[in-house]
Amino acid sequence: MSAPAYLTLAEASLLIKNRELSPVTLTERCFKRADKLQPHLHAFVLMTRDTAMAEARKAEAEIAAGRWLGPMHGIPIGIKDIYSTRGVPTTCHSNLLKDHVPSEDAETVRRLKEAGAVIMGKLATDEFAFGTGTNLPFPVARNPWNVDHVPSGSSSGSGVGLATGQFLGATGSDTGGSIRSPAASNGVAGIKPTYGLVSRAGIFPLSFTADTAGPMGWTTEDCAIQLQVMAGYDPKDPASVDLPLPDYHQELGKPAKGLKVGVIRHFYEGRDGSDPETIGIFNQAYDAMRGLGVELRDVTLPDLMDFHACGRAVILPEIYAIHRAMLEKTPELYGEITRERARLGALVTSEEYHRGQRFRRQLIDRILKSMEGLDLLIAPSAYGAPAHVSEIEIFPYFGKPNLSMPFNLSGQPAHAICVGFGREGLPRSLQIVGRHFDEATVLRLGHAYEKATPWRDRRPAV
Protein backbone atom coordinates (compact mmCIF):
# COMPACT_ATOMS: atom_id res chain seq x y z
CA MET A 1 0.00 0.00 0.00
CA SER A 2 1.19 3.50 -0.81
CA ALA A 3 1.01 5.66 2.32
CA PRO A 4 0.01 9.33 1.98
CA ALA A 5 2.71 12.00 2.07
CA TYR A 6 2.15 12.61 5.75
CA LEU A 7 0.96 10.06 8.27
CA THR A 8 0.17 10.69 11.89
CA LEU A 9 1.69 8.33 14.41
CA ALA A 10 -1.75 6.83 15.04
CA GLU A 11 -2.40 6.28 11.33
CA ALA A 12 0.99 4.69 10.77
CA SER A 13 0.55 2.52 13.83
CA LEU A 14 -2.72 1.10 12.55
CA LEU A 15 -1.25 0.41 9.12
CA ILE A 16 1.76 -1.31 10.67
CA LYS A 17 -0.43 -3.39 12.97
CA ASN A 18 -2.48 -4.50 9.97
CA ARG A 19 0.73 -5.22 8.01
CA GLU A 20 -0.26 -2.66 5.40
CA LEU A 21 2.86 -0.57 6.04
CA SER A 22 6.37 -1.80 6.61
CA PRO A 23 8.32 -0.17 9.48
CA VAL A 24 11.36 -0.38 7.21
CA THR A 25 9.62 1.50 4.42
CA LEU A 26 8.25 4.08 6.84
CA THR A 27 11.63 4.65 8.47
CA GLU A 28 13.33 4.96 5.08
CA ARG A 29 10.76 7.56 4.06
CA CYS A 30 11.32 9.51 7.24
CA PHE A 31 15.10 9.49 6.74
CA LYS A 32 14.64 10.57 3.12
CA ARG A 33 12.62 13.55 4.27
CA ALA A 34 15.05 14.28 7.09
CA ASP A 35 18.02 14.16 4.70
CA LYS A 36 16.30 16.68 2.46
CA LEU A 37 15.34 19.08 5.26
CA GLN A 38 18.28 18.79 7.65
CA PRO A 39 20.51 21.29 5.79
CA HIS A 40 17.78 23.93 6.09
CA LEU A 41 15.95 23.17 9.35
CA HIS A 42 18.53 21.37 11.53
CA ALA A 43 16.03 19.34 13.55
CA PHE A 44 18.67 16.69 14.30
CA VAL A 45 21.98 16.93 16.05
CA LEU A 46 22.68 13.29 15.22
CA MET A 47 20.96 10.71 13.01
CA THR A 48 21.42 7.11 14.13
CA ARG A 49 20.58 5.65 10.74
CA ASP A 50 22.20 2.23 11.03
CA THR A 51 20.70 1.33 14.39
CA ALA A 52 17.33 2.80 13.39
CA MET A 53 17.15 0.69 10.25
CA ALA A 54 18.16 -2.36 12.27
CA GLU A 55 15.38 -1.61 14.76
CA ALA A 56 12.90 -1.16 11.90
CA ARG A 57 13.89 -4.50 10.36
CA LYS A 58 13.57 -6.18 13.76
CA ALA A 59 10.11 -4.65 14.23
CA GLU A 60 9.06 -5.81 10.80
CA ALA A 61 10.19 -9.36 11.51
CA GLU A 62 8.48 -9.42 14.90
CA ILE A 63 5.20 -8.15 13.49
CA ALA A 64 5.37 -10.58 10.59
CA ALA A 65 5.81 -13.32 13.19
CA GLY A 66 2.68 -12.18 14.99
CA ARG A 67 4.49 -10.45 17.85
CA TRP A 68 3.07 -6.90 17.61
CA LEU A 69 4.12 -5.09 20.78
CA GLY A 70 1.66 -2.21 20.68
CA PRO A 71 1.05 1.09 18.92
CA MET A 72 4.66 2.32 19.16
CA HIS A 73 6.02 -0.79 17.47
CA GLY A 74 7.93 0.19 14.33
CA ILE A 75 7.22 3.93 14.73
CA PRO A 76 10.13 6.29 13.88
CA ILE A 77 10.71 8.85 16.61
CA GLY A 78 13.30 11.42 17.66
CA ILE A 79 14.80 11.93 21.10
CA LYS A 80 15.60 15.36 22.50
CA ASP A 81 19.32 15.50 23.11
CA ILE A 82 19.07 15.98 26.86
CA TYR A 83 17.70 12.42 27.17
CA SER A 84 20.48 9.90 27.81
CA THR A 85 20.87 7.25 25.13
CA ARG A 86 23.06 4.26 25.81
CA GLY A 87 26.09 4.21 23.55
CA VAL A 88 24.90 7.27 21.60
CA PRO A 89 26.23 10.79 22.27
CA THR A 90 24.01 12.94 24.47
CA THR A 91 25.35 16.44 24.18
CA CYS A 92 22.59 18.71 25.49
CA HIS A 93 23.47 20.71 22.34
CA SER A 94 26.56 21.95 24.17
CA ASN A 95 30.29 21.87 23.64
CA LEU A 96 30.59 20.95 27.31
CA LEU A 97 29.15 17.50 26.62
CA LYS A 98 29.95 17.01 22.96
CA ASP A 99 31.91 13.83 23.72
CA HIS A 100 29.52 12.51 26.37
CA VAL A 101 28.28 8.99 25.65
CA PRO A 102 25.99 7.64 28.39
CA SER A 103 26.19 4.04 29.50
CA GLU A 104 22.45 3.87 30.23
CA ASP A 105 19.25 4.97 28.55
CA ALA A 106 16.98 7.46 30.23
CA GLU A 107 14.08 5.49 31.69
CA THR A 108 11.69 6.97 29.13
CA VAL A 109 14.00 6.00 26.27
CA ARG A 110 14.23 2.50 27.68
CA ARG A 111 10.44 2.27 27.76
CA LEU A 112 10.07 3.59 24.22
CA LYS A 113 12.63 1.08 22.95
CA GLU A 114 10.90 -1.71 24.84
CA ALA A 115 7.65 -0.69 23.14
CA GLY A 116 9.35 -1.18 19.78
CA ALA A 117 9.88 2.45 18.77
CA VAL A 118 12.51 3.12 16.11
CA ILE A 119 14.87 5.84 17.29
CA MET A 120 16.07 7.90 14.34
CA GLY A 121 18.43 10.10 16.30
CA LYS A 122 18.96 12.92 18.72
CA LEU A 123 17.20 16.23 18.32
CA ALA A 124 18.23 19.86 18.55
CA THR A 125 17.47 21.66 21.79
CA ASP A 126 18.27 24.93 23.42
CA GLU A 127 21.66 24.40 25.07
CA PHE A 128 20.97 22.45 28.29
CA ALA A 129 17.30 23.23 27.58
CA PHE A 130 17.58 26.93 28.39
CA GLY A 131 20.13 28.86 26.38
CA THR A 132 21.79 29.47 23.08
CA GLY A 133 24.59 31.46 21.46
CA THR A 134 27.01 31.21 18.56
CA ASN A 135 29.39 28.90 20.41
CA LEU A 136 27.41 25.70 19.94
CA PRO A 137 28.48 22.38 18.42
CA PHE A 138 25.47 22.16 16.09
CA PRO A 139 23.30 24.65 14.21
CA VAL A 140 20.11 25.77 15.92
CA ALA A 141 16.82 24.46 14.51
CA ARG A 142 14.74 26.70 12.22
CA ASN A 143 11.00 27.21 12.05
CA PRO A 144 9.62 25.33 9.02
CA TRP A 145 6.70 27.73 8.62
CA ASN A 146 9.14 30.60 8.15
CA VAL A 147 12.84 30.21 8.83
CA ASP A 148 13.12 33.87 9.80
CA HIS A 149 11.10 33.10 12.93
CA VAL A 150 12.21 31.04 15.90
CA PRO A 151 10.99 27.46 16.37
CA SER A 152 11.06 28.25 20.10
CA GLY A 153 12.59 25.99 22.65
CA SER A 154 13.83 24.23 24.25
CA SER A 155 12.43 21.15 22.46
CA SER A 156 13.02 22.88 19.13
CA GLY A 157 14.14 19.92 17.03
CA SER A 158 11.14 17.92 18.26
CA GLY A 159 8.68 20.56 17.07
CA VAL A 160 10.43 21.20 13.75
CA GLY A 161 10.77 17.53 12.85
CA LEU A 162 7.17 16.68 13.75
CA ALA A 163 5.74 19.56 11.75
CA THR A 164 7.64 18.41 8.67
CA GLY A 165 7.04 14.69 9.06
CA GLN A 166 10.69 13.80 9.62
CA PHE A 167 9.54 11.49 12.42
CA LEU A 168 6.13 10.67 13.86
CA GLY A 169 6.78 11.09 17.56
CA ALA A 170 9.29 12.89 19.74
CA THR A 171 10.26 13.47 23.31
CA GLY A 172 10.43 16.89 24.93
CA SER A 173 10.96 18.37 28.35
CA ASP A 174 9.20 21.31 29.95
CA THR A 175 10.48 23.41 32.84
CA GLY A 176 9.08 26.78 31.75
CA GLY A 177 7.29 25.95 28.51
CA SER A 178 9.89 23.89 26.66
CA ILE A 179 7.31 21.45 25.28
CA ARG A 180 4.42 23.88 24.84
CA SER A 181 6.37 26.77 23.29
CA PRO A 182 7.92 24.77 20.43
CA ALA A 183 4.61 22.95 19.99
CA ALA A 184 2.99 26.37 19.59
CA SER A 185 5.63 27.82 17.27
CA ASN A 186 5.72 24.78 15.00
CA GLY A 187 1.98 24.10 14.96
CA VAL A 188 2.17 20.70 16.64
CA ALA A 189 0.82 19.20 19.87
CA GLY A 190 2.73 18.61 23.07
CA ILE A 191 1.79 17.73 26.61
CA LYS A 192 3.62 18.71 29.75
CA PRO A 193 2.41 15.97 32.07
CA THR A 194 1.75 16.29 35.75
CA TYR A 195 4.98 16.63 37.72
CA GLY A 196 5.79 13.09 38.79
CA LEU A 197 3.88 11.22 36.08
CA VAL A 198 6.79 10.68 33.68
CA SER A 199 10.24 9.69 34.90
CA ARG A 200 13.04 12.23 34.52
CA ALA A 201 15.74 9.69 35.34
CA GLY A 202 18.53 10.00 32.80
CA ILE A 203 17.39 13.39 31.52
CA PHE A 204 19.77 16.27 32.14
CA PRO A 205 18.15 18.42 34.84
CA LEU A 206 17.33 22.10 34.70
CA SER A 207 15.14 22.64 37.75
CA PHE A 208 14.32 19.96 40.29
CA THR A 209 11.13 21.79 41.20
CA ALA A 210 9.73 22.24 37.73
CA ASP A 211 11.29 19.71 35.34
CA THR A 212 8.90 17.45 33.49
CA ALA A 213 9.34 15.13 30.52
CA GLY A 214 6.67 14.44 27.98
CA PRO A 215 5.72 13.60 24.41
CA MET A 216 5.13 15.77 21.38
CA GLY A 217 3.26 14.79 18.22
CA TRP A 218 1.45 16.12 15.20
CA THR A 219 -1.83 15.37 16.96
CA THR A 220 -3.15 14.98 20.46
CA GLU A 221 -3.83 11.33 19.66
CA ASP A 222 -0.13 10.87 18.85
CA CYS A 223 0.77 12.40 22.21
CA ALA A 224 -1.64 10.08 24.01
CA ILE A 225 -0.09 6.99 22.43
CA GLN A 226 3.42 8.04 23.43
CA LEU A 227 2.39 9.15 26.92
CA GLN A 228 1.02 5.68 27.60
CA VAL A 229 4.50 4.28 27.14
CA MET A 230 6.46 7.08 28.82
CA ALA A 231 4.29 7.47 31.95
CA GLY A 232 4.44 5.38 35.06
CA TYR A 233 6.26 4.96 38.33
CA ASP A 234 10.04 4.90 38.34
CA PRO A 235 11.89 4.60 41.64
CA LYS A 236 14.94 6.21 40.02
CA ASP A 237 13.11 9.56 39.92
CA PRO A 238 12.43 10.87 43.44
CA ALA A 239 9.44 12.86 42.16
CA SER A 240 7.84 9.85 40.53
CA VAL A 241 4.39 8.90 41.76
CA ASP A 242 3.04 5.38 41.86
CA LEU A 243 -0.48 5.60 40.51
CA PRO A 244 -2.51 3.41 38.16
CA LEU A 245 -2.59 4.78 34.63
CA PRO A 246 -5.72 5.13 32.55
CA ASP A 247 -5.79 4.03 28.93
CA TYR A 248 -5.15 7.46 27.43
CA HIS A 249 -6.00 6.42 23.89
CA GLN A 250 -9.24 4.80 24.90
CA GLU A 251 -10.20 7.88 26.94
CA LEU A 252 -9.94 9.99 23.77
CA GLY A 253 -13.09 8.31 22.57
CA LYS A 254 -15.21 9.87 25.30
CA PRO A 255 -17.20 12.91 24.16
CA ALA A 256 -16.12 16.42 25.05
CA LYS A 257 -19.75 17.38 25.51
CA GLY A 258 -20.47 18.52 29.03
CA LEU A 259 -16.89 19.35 29.96
CA LYS A 260 -16.71 22.53 32.01
CA VAL A 261 -13.78 24.73 31.09
CA GLY A 262 -12.48 27.97 32.58
CA VAL A 263 -10.96 30.47 30.15
CA ILE A 264 -8.10 32.54 31.58
CA ARG A 265 -8.50 35.55 29.30
CA HIS A 266 -6.60 37.95 31.54
CA PHE A 267 -3.33 36.07 30.97
CA TYR A 268 -3.35 37.50 27.44
CA GLU A 269 -6.07 39.98 26.57
CA GLY A 270 -5.17 43.56 27.37
CA ARG A 271 -1.54 42.71 28.00
CA ASP A 272 1.44 44.14 26.10
CA GLY A 273 2.25 41.72 23.31
CA SER A 274 -1.31 40.60 22.65
CA ASP A 275 -2.81 41.33 19.26
CA PRO A 276 -6.40 41.48 18.01
CA GLU A 277 -5.88 38.89 15.30
CA THR A 278 -4.63 36.30 17.78
CA ILE A 279 -7.45 37.11 20.19
CA GLY A 280 -9.86 36.53 17.31
CA ILE A 281 -8.28 33.15 16.57
CA PHE A 282 -8.60 32.17 20.23
CA ASN A 283 -12.26 33.26 20.26
CA GLN A 284 -12.93 31.09 17.21
CA ALA A 285 -11.34 28.17 19.05
CA TYR A 286 -13.59 28.78 22.05
CA ASP A 287 -16.59 28.85 19.70
CA ALA A 288 -15.50 25.55 18.17
CA MET A 289 -15.33 24.03 21.65
CA ARG A 290 -18.79 25.35 22.45
CA GLY A 291 -19.91 23.67 19.25
CA LEU A 292 -18.71 20.40 20.76
CA GLY A 293 -20.96 20.96 23.75
CA VAL A 294 -18.18 22.23 26.03
CA GLU A 295 -19.29 24.76 28.64
CA LEU A 296 -16.89 27.70 28.89
CA ARG A 297 -16.76 30.49 31.41
CA ASP A 298 -14.14 33.07 32.24
CA VAL A 299 -12.03 32.57 35.35
CA THR A 300 -9.57 34.83 37.14
CA LEU A 301 -6.25 33.59 38.46
CA PRO A 302 -3.53 35.62 40.16
CA ASP A 303 -1.66 38.08 37.94
CA LEU A 304 0.49 36.27 35.40
CA MET A 305 3.45 38.37 36.52
CA ASP A 306 3.19 36.83 40.01
CA PHE A 307 3.66 33.38 38.51
CA HIS A 308 6.49 34.70 36.38
CA ALA A 309 8.33 36.25 39.35
CA CYS A 310 7.82 33.13 41.44
CA GLY A 311 9.15 30.96 38.66
CA ARG A 312 12.28 33.04 38.28
CA ALA A 313 12.93 32.98 42.03
CA VAL A 314 12.76 29.21 42.06
CA ILE A 315 14.15 28.10 38.71
CA LEU A 316 17.08 30.48 38.20
CA PRO A 317 18.97 29.43 41.35
CA GLU A 318 18.26 25.77 40.64
CA ILE A 319 19.80 26.20 37.18
CA TYR A 320 22.84 27.84 38.72
CA ALA A 321 23.17 25.14 41.34
CA ILE A 322 23.30 22.53 38.57
CA HIS A 323 25.73 24.46 36.37
CA ARG A 324 27.98 26.12 38.94
CA ALA A 325 30.94 23.77 38.63
CA MET A 326 30.99 23.90 34.84
CA LEU A 327 30.48 27.67 34.85
CA GLU A 328 33.49 28.13 37.10
CA LYS A 329 35.73 25.62 35.37
CA THR A 330 34.98 26.07 31.67
CA PRO A 331 32.70 29.07 31.10
CA GLU A 332 34.12 29.52 27.60
CA LEU A 333 32.54 26.25 26.47
CA TYR A 334 28.99 27.54 26.94
CA GLY A 335 27.03 29.45 24.35
CA GLU A 336 27.22 33.12 25.29
CA ILE A 337 23.53 33.46 26.12
CA THR A 338 23.41 30.22 28.11
CA ARG A 339 26.39 31.35 30.18
CA GLU A 340 24.95 34.74 30.97
CA ARG A 341 21.50 33.39 31.84
CA ALA A 342 22.93 30.73 34.13
CA ARG A 343 24.95 33.25 36.13
CA LEU A 344 21.86 35.27 37.00
CA GLY A 345 20.76 32.46 39.30
CA ALA A 346 23.84 32.97 41.45
CA LEU A 347 22.43 36.32 42.54
CA VAL A 348 19.14 35.07 43.99
CA THR A 349 19.36 34.82 47.76
CA SER A 350 18.33 31.73 49.67
CA GLU A 351 15.55 33.73 51.35
CA GLU A 352 14.20 34.77 47.94
CA TYR A 353 14.35 31.18 46.76
CA HIS A 354 12.41 29.88 49.73
CA ARG A 355 9.97 32.79 49.63
CA GLY A 356 9.37 31.81 46.02
CA GLN A 357 8.77 28.20 47.00
CA ARG A 358 6.25 29.21 49.65
CA PHE A 359 4.54 31.60 47.26
CA ARG A 360 4.36 28.78 44.75
CA ARG A 361 2.31 26.77 47.21
CA GLN A 362 -0.10 29.69 47.62
CA LEU A 363 -0.42 30.13 43.87
CA ILE A 364 -1.20 26.43 43.46
CA ASP A 365 -3.97 26.71 46.01
CA ARG A 366 -5.44 29.66 44.13
CA ILE A 367 -5.36 27.86 40.79
CA LEU A 368 -7.08 24.83 42.25
CA LYS A 369 -9.68 27.03 43.94
CA SER A 370 -10.39 28.69 40.59
CA MET A 371 -11.06 25.22 39.16
CA GLU A 372 -13.87 24.42 41.59
CA GLY A 373 -16.77 23.23 39.47
CA LEU A 374 -14.56 23.02 36.40
CA ASP A 375 -12.84 20.14 34.65
CA LEU A 376 -10.21 22.13 32.76
CA LEU A 377 -8.66 25.54 32.17
CA ILE A 378 -7.63 27.10 28.87
CA ALA A 379 -5.01 29.78 28.27
CA PRO A 380 -2.77 30.84 25.38
CA SER A 381 0.40 28.79 24.92
CA ALA A 382 2.18 31.73 23.31
CA TYR A 383 1.67 35.45 22.75
CA GLY A 384 0.99 35.13 19.04
CA ALA A 385 3.28 34.43 16.12
CA PRO A 386 6.71 33.08 17.05
CA ALA A 387 9.30 35.83 17.39
CA HIS A 388 11.61 36.90 14.60
CA VAL A 389 15.09 35.43 15.01
CA SER A 390 16.47 38.96 15.48
CA GLU A 391 14.37 39.34 18.64
CA ILE A 392 16.19 36.77 20.79
CA GLU A 393 17.03 38.36 24.15
CA ILE A 394 19.88 37.42 26.46
CA PHE A 395 17.61 37.83 29.48
CA PRO A 396 14.01 37.21 28.40
CA TYR A 397 12.79 37.51 31.97
CA PHE A 398 11.86 41.15 32.36
CA GLY A 399 9.37 41.86 29.59
CA LYS A 400 6.30 39.82 28.82
CA PRO A 401 5.62 37.27 31.57
CA ASN A 402 5.92 33.61 30.64
CA LEU A 403 2.53 32.09 29.74
CA SER A 404 3.69 28.55 30.47
CA MET A 405 5.10 29.16 33.93
CA PRO A 406 1.89 28.96 36.00
CA PHE A 407 1.51 25.26 35.27
CA ASN A 408 5.17 24.44 35.71
CA LEU A 409 4.85 25.91 39.17
CA SER A 410 1.57 24.14 39.87
CA GLY A 411 2.72 20.85 38.37
CA GLN A 412 -0.56 20.43 36.49
CA PRO A 413 -0.82 18.80 33.08
CA ALA A 414 -0.85 21.36 30.26
CA HIS A 415 -1.27 20.45 26.62
CA ALA A 416 -0.56 22.79 23.70
CA ILE A 417 -2.66 22.44 20.55
CA CYS A 418 -2.66 24.35 17.28
CA VAL A 419 -5.80 26.49 16.95
CA GLY A 420 -5.17 28.26 13.67
CA PHE A 421 -2.82 30.50 11.74
CA GLY A 422 -2.25 34.22 11.45
CA ARG A 423 -2.36 36.10 8.17
CA GLU A 424 1.44 35.72 7.99
CA GLY A 425 1.00 31.95 7.95
CA LEU A 426 2.41 31.21 11.40
CA PRO A 427 0.60 28.99 13.91
CA ARG A 428 -1.30 30.00 17.03
CA SER A 429 -1.79 27.77 20.07
CA LEU A 430 -3.81 27.33 23.21
CA GLN A 431 -2.94 25.19 26.22
CA ILE A 432 -5.50 22.97 27.91
CA VAL A 433 -4.82 22.54 31.62
CA GLY A 434 -6.16 19.82 33.88
CA ARG A 435 -6.14 18.72 37.46
CA HIS A 436 -3.11 16.82 38.68
CA PHE A 437 -2.87 13.43 36.97
CA ASP A 438 -5.97 14.08 34.83
CA GLU A 439 -4.12 13.97 31.52
CA ALA A 440 -6.97 11.89 30.12
CA THR A 441 -9.47 14.77 30.24
CA VAL A 442 -6.92 17.25 28.92
CA LEU A 443 -6.20 15.01 25.95
CA ARG A 444 -9.87 14.29 25.40
CA LEU A 445 -10.67 17.95 24.76
CA GLY A 446 -7.59 18.43 22.59
CA HIS A 447 -8.49 15.43 20.47
CA ALA A 448 -12.13 16.45 20.06
CA TYR A 449 -11.10 19.97 19.06
CA GLU A 450 -8.57 18.73 16.49
CA LYS A 451 -11.15 16.40 14.96
CA ALA A 452 -13.65 19.24 14.65
CA THR A 453 -11.30 21.78 13.05
CA PRO A 454 -9.14 21.78 9.88
CA TRP A 455 -5.78 22.72 11.39
CA ARG A 456 -4.27 19.21 11.33
CA ASP A 457 -4.63 19.19 7.54
CA ARG A 458 -2.11 22.00 7.00
CA ARG A 459 1.65 21.37 6.89
CA PRO A 460 4.58 23.72 6.26
CA ALA A 461 5.46 24.18 2.60
CA VAL A 462 8.93 22.63 2.68
Counting contacts by CB under 8 A, is residue 360 touching another protein? yes
> Is residue 192 annotated as part of the catalytic site, yes or no?
no
- Applying CB under 8 A, which part among 39-47, 79-87, 98-106, 194-202 lies near another protein? 194-202
Is 357 a binder of another protein (CB under 8 A)? yes
Closest approach of Cβ 213 to another protein, in Å? 16
Q: Choose one: 9-17, 114-122, 289-297, 359-367; the region binding another protein (CB under 8 A).
A: 359-367
Site for another protein in 400-439 (CB under 8 A): 410-412, 436-437
Give a three-class secondary structure readout of the chain. CCCCCCCCHHHHHHHHHCCCCCHHHHHHHHHHHHHHHHHHHCCEEEECHHHHHHHHHHHHHHHHCCCCCCCCCCCEEEEECCECECCECCCCCCHHHCCCCCCCCCHHHHHHHHCCCEEEEEECCCECCCECCCCCCCCCCCCCCCCCECCCCCCHHHHHHHHCCCCCEEEEECCCCCCHHHHHHHCCEEEECCCCCECCCCECCCCCCCCCEEEEECCHHHHHHHHHHHECCCCCCCCCCCCCCCCHHHHCCCCCCCCEEEECHHHCCCCCCCCHHHHHHHHHHHHHHHHCCCEEEECCCCCHHHHHHHHHHHHHHHHHHHHHHHHHHCHHHCCHHHHHHHHHHHHCCHHHHHHHHHHHHHHHHHHHHHCCCCCEEEEECCCCCCCEHHHCCCCCCCCCCCCCHHHHHHCCCEEEEEEEECCCCCEEEEEEEECCCCHHHHHHHHHHHHHHCCHHHCCCCC
Q: How far is the CB of 394 from another protein (least distance, A)?
A: 6
Nearer to another protein, 128 or 407 (CB): 407
| C-beta of residue 27 within 8 angstroms of C-beta of residue 53 | yes
Pick the binder of another protein from 50, 99, 272, 328 (CB under 8 A).
328
| Shorter beta-carbon distance to another protein: residue 292 or 344 | 344
Query: Which strands make up the sheet holding 44-47, listed edge to edge?
Result: 44-47, 118-123, 76-80, 169-173, 213-217, 189-192, 414-421, 427-434, 376-380, 260-263, 295-298
Q: Which is nearer to another protein, 170 or 316 (CB)?
A: 316
Nearest residue (CB) to another protein, 258 versus 399: 399
Strand bridging mode 118-123 / 76-80: parallel
When binding is defined by CB under 8 A, the residue of 14, 53, 241, 333 that contacts another protein is: 241
- Cross-strand partners of 415: 191, 432
Among 17, 343, 366, 400, binds another protein (CB under 8 A): 343
Establish if 331 lies at the interface with another protein (CB under 8 A).
Answer: yes
Query: Among residues 15 and 364, whose Cβ is nearest to another protein?
Result: 364
Q: Is 398 in the site for another protein (CB under 8 A)?
A: yes
- CB-based contact 446:415 (threshold 8 Å): yes
Q: Does 347 bind another protein (CB under 8 A)?
A: yes
Q: Which of 31, 195, 204, 268: binder of another protein (CB under 8 A)?
A: 195
Tell me the window of 18-26, 123-131, 356-364, 426-434 that interacts with another protein (CB under 8 A). 356-364
**Out of 22, 94, 152, 154, which one is annotated catalytic?**
154
Active site residue 207: no
362 binds another protein (CB under 8 A): yes
Touching another protein, residues 37-56 (CB under 8 A)? none
- The yes or no reply on residue 194 touching another protein (CB under 8 A) is yes
196 binds another protein (CB under 8 A): yes
Interactions with another protein, residue window 250-309 (CB under 8 A) = 305-306, 308-309
For the bound state, the minimum distance from the C-beta of residue 359 to another protein, rounded and expressed in Å, comes to: 5
Residue 313 binding another protein, by CB under 8 A: yes
- Residues 152, 155, 156, 178: which is the catalytic one? 178
Q: Tell which one of 42, 312, 323, 415 touches another protein (CB under 8 A).
A: 312
Q: Residue 359 interacts with another protein (CB under 8 A)?
A: yes
Catalytic residue list contains 17: no
Residues that are catalytic:
80, 154, 178
Residues that bind another protein (CB under 8 A): 194-196, 239, 241, 305-306, 308-310, 312-313, 316, 327-328, 331, 339-340, 343-344, 346-348, 352, 354-362, 364-365, 394-395, 397-398, 410-412, 436-437
